[in-house]
Chains A and B, each alone.
Chain A
């Protein structure tokens, strides 16, 4: 499928680049609708790689790239289902999400995340599967999962470990604090930091550059440089599912969902 218009995301091919736009209000909270549509993208990647050399992911929404998993939907579903069914459903959803993330991570398309604003949790994990992250200076990155009694569940830890020194990974995870784009460029995660509103334009220029080289060679180089940490990704799912059974998680989710003051995204 070379063109797709969904509720949460859409894509089209322009000048050899698949442009994947995230556009679910208010800030691309990633729930089951987004997952279903992302699965269609994952299934289309091979076809798309015949027409394009790069996948460029960006958000059309002002607040940012993505605030991460749809916690309201996660909380609601955990309350609606019997505990056994909820656990099975959670694992199934994680495995589906991992399949999508792994497909993008290992795609023969070069991949760029053009990010701005809030790039939290699952949104950060989506950026991490890309070969390059181009951030505008408003971008802010965070893994807030420990605040909810969880760890990142969509491949964040293995991919952070792949890309960063352990000290920075510990800082991000254990403090749950957010970091700006300049900081993450200093530690080597963000490729370029650009002016406000410029990430998409610069990402397009970078995509054009990526498209100049022999495809077979670029794909071979990418596969050599960027192994997929399959074993750790599977362990992450197991740890996440085990943690989710603890009462602290329901309490953390309820606090977030029922928060009426201005500060649910602050630690």
Chain B
């Protein structure tokens, strides 16, 4: 993954990864969903998702950057800022 990836590609990769890992149908996830509610996860699982995203995109994303972030679109913006 590199910075030449488009925003849509980043967002799509996140949705795909989250759907696969948390076993939720991909079509049930939309960019503006609250991922805690839609994925049915707590903060420990959110950290797990963060680790997987860091490994996937080869970035480091401090967890305090997720303060107040609960939707996939904003999460994608945070990740893109690190590419």
Contact = CB atoms under 8 A, between A and B. Distances in A.
Contacts of A188: none
Interface residues of B, number: 19
Interface of B: 36, 41-44, 46-48, 50-52, 54-55, 60, 62-64, 66-67
Contacts of B60: 179-180, 183
B51 A263 contact: no
Nearest to A266: B43
Nearest to B40: A262
A265 B48 CA distance: 11
Interface of A: 27, 63-64, 67, 117-118, 137-140, 142, 175-180, 182-183, 262-267
A180 B51 contact: yes
Contact of B44 (A118, A175, A183): A118
Contact of B63 (A67, A138, A178, A182): A178
A45 B48 CA distance: 34
Contact of B47 (A118, A176, A182): A118
B43 A180 contact: no
A2 to B, nearest CB: 34
A142 B51 CA distance: 13
24 contacts: A67-B44, A117-B44, A117-B48, A138-B51, A140-B48, A140-B50, A140-B51, A176-B64, A177-B62, A177-B63, A178-B47, A178-B63, A180-B51, A182-B54, A182-B55, A183-B60, A262-B43, A262-B46, A265-B42, A265-B43, A266-B46, A266-B66, A267-B63, A267-B67
